[in-house]
Amino acid sequence: MSQGTKKAPYGTWESPANSIEALLVDGVTGTVYNLERRPSEGGRSVLVETRSGKDVLGPKSDGSRWNVRTGVQEYGGSPALVHNNIVYFSHYDDGRIYSKELGTEGSKVIGVTPGSRLPIHSHLLFAVLEDHTDDTPAGVVTSLCVIDTSNQSGDDKVSVIVKGADFYALPSFSPSVEGRPSKLTWMEWYHPDMPWIGGEVYVGDVVIEGARPVLPTPLPEDFGYPFWSLDEFPYTLVSAGGKKGAVWKGIKEGRDVLYYIPVGEGKEPAKAHLIPSPYVSLGPSILALPGGKEVVFIGQKADEEKTIVQVSVEGLIEGNAEFVGIAVKKEKEEKKTELTKDLVSAPKPITLKLADGHPLHVVYYAPYNPAYAGPNDPSEKPPVVVNIHGGPTAHVSQGLDWKKQYWTTRGWAWLDVNYRGSSGYGRAYIEQLNRNWGVVDVQDCINSVRLLSGGEHDLVDPKRAVIRGGSAGGFTVLAVISLPEKETDRKTFAAAQASYGISDLKKLEEFTHKFESHYLSGLLGGSSAEVPETYAKRSPINSVSKIETPLLILQGSADKVVPPAQSSSIYEILKAKNNDVEYKEYEGEGHGWRREDTMRDAIERERAFYERVLGLKNVA
């Protein structure tokens, strides 16, 4: 133990620990921009010129601020694009599209659409249009539309060009190539599929007539979103093109990775090559700068914040790539607390073996703070925060997340459970959740603590394990403490925290938004009309009488994905039973926290709740 290091019980250490959203490239000028979410400004998204860090839109004429964000399909889509120094963006507060000429002193923001990369046809914008005239999941109509920004009259500015599918996403133009027509690619799919199950990629001329699927018949392989790279050829993870090759993001063993594939004239299929990189989490897009000799992307290491990375294609091809960070976001909270790399607990991926032989993937973060050491008794193990991701078919990134370090620097262990059904470990792993939501995820959460608290691992104190999760993760939290038949299973965790968690599956099916209106059919084996017993049996609201675990519930008042009634109903029943339960509803917050004050209150409230339940006292 170094001089100045304090010995103190785990979970009682003092800590100084108290985001880049998307990337854009101007295909003509090569200027790089990024979207930056600012919790200290109400959670708004700001368009920033990456190298200067300047907010390029500035304030509105009335002094308020622009919020560059969309709410399409509830989770949002691409909110902006920049071409030849003109930005087109969606303002979240009114859903309109606006434009502004950048780099010109005194230029004003102009409304493009009514109030309710285009190299050849630069006056045209393609977008996903949602008609909420009938604002029910079955009544919302989604289509692909074209917006004519040169139409000054306001009449017929927006025209629907493709319709018929239940969903459309990511319309994207091909770059300009002299003598070749511009092409458009997009993704579409139908109920009851989700996009990663039944998505189809289409490509067509700009005139749209004669659009065709990229593949003549559907393939069962996974593929990514459509976009154009390096030349006019589109590619996905099953069809890569362009004579100079293609670079894309994949997932391998729960970490984001880069791949390169050369495409030549030979008859033999080209092979994809894994590109060594120091990044464990990548943004959704790899974008080429003009000329196709360099690409940029958002990258994050296990011990560093997100940065925008620029790298030469030649370096990627030759295997000697030099990754250059051109901008790093520094949140105001980080500047105040002066968090540094020497406080970071590194992720440790662990594959546990279940009794039936199936693997269970988790990521462990040990308690770590250079100012502290654990107690003298080596048999004492730290309390552990078991974190359950949403989705439910998502996975937890291993990129630096100060929320995790908030706990590890205080002497807690942190465990991300990528239960069976999580992405990032192959399709067979994902498919284990089919029909089994509320079963295998629950089992895996319980087993993660048992397997890590003994045997070959012996890393955590099973009597001081707490569980947390939001949305679908909140459902799993509620399910863990209410659904298992064995009381010992239900009492695995000493405390639980559910943020905007699902408690009633039938009501979720009834009131959810269009995008997820058929999601439950695959997860539960059918609709509530087809398998009513399953919906009833796996809804925590119907097993509240079995809940004895102290529970903290956090909810946003404006949440349309999981309405407040899903949380408040659990609270009211438990309160009437005199259970140890707390409830906090944040006014104006939706599905996930965006405001700084909400984020701070939520994590401090959660810590205070655990410390009270476990009887932890800060001894510093």
Task: Count CB atoms within 10 A of the CB of residue 260.
Answer: 19
Query: Looking at residue 111, what is its pLDDT?
Result: 73
Query: Looking at residue 240, what is its pLDDT?
Result: 30
Query: Looking at residue 584, what is its pLDDT?
Result: 97
Element (H, E) at 337: helix 332-337
Between CA 94 and CA 295 the distance in angstroms is 33
Total-model pTM? 0.67
Query: Looking at residue 234, what is its pLDDT?
Result: 37
Q: Which residues pair with 586 in a beta bridge?
A: 556
Query: Looking at residue 615, what is its pLDDT?
Result: 93
Contact call for residues 272 and 12 (beta carbons, < 8 A) = no
Backbone angles phi, psi at 259, to 5 degrees: -125, 150
Distances (CA, A) of 446 to 202, 450, 486, 491: 43, 7, 12, 9
Query: Looking at residue 239, what is its pLDDT?
Result: 28
Angular region, 391: left φ>0, alpha ψ -120 to 50, beta rest: left
Domain boundaries 344-369+383-390+404-614, CATH class: alpha beta
Query: Looking at residue 343, what is its pLDDT?
Result: 82
Going from N- to C-terminal start, the domains of the chain cover 117-229, 240-335, 344-369+383-390+404-614
Sign of CA dihedral 241, 242, 243, 248: negative
Query: Looking at residue 28, what is its pLDDT?
Result: 67
Question: How long, in residues, is the chain?
Answer: 620
**pLDDT < 50 regions, the chain:** 1-3, 18-19, 115-120, 177-179, 208-209, 214-216, 219, 225, 227-243, 265, 330-337, 619-620
Q: Which residues are CB-contacts of 534 (< 8 A; sequence separation ≥ 6)?
A: 524, 525, 526
Between CA 508 and CA 559 the distance in angstroms is 12
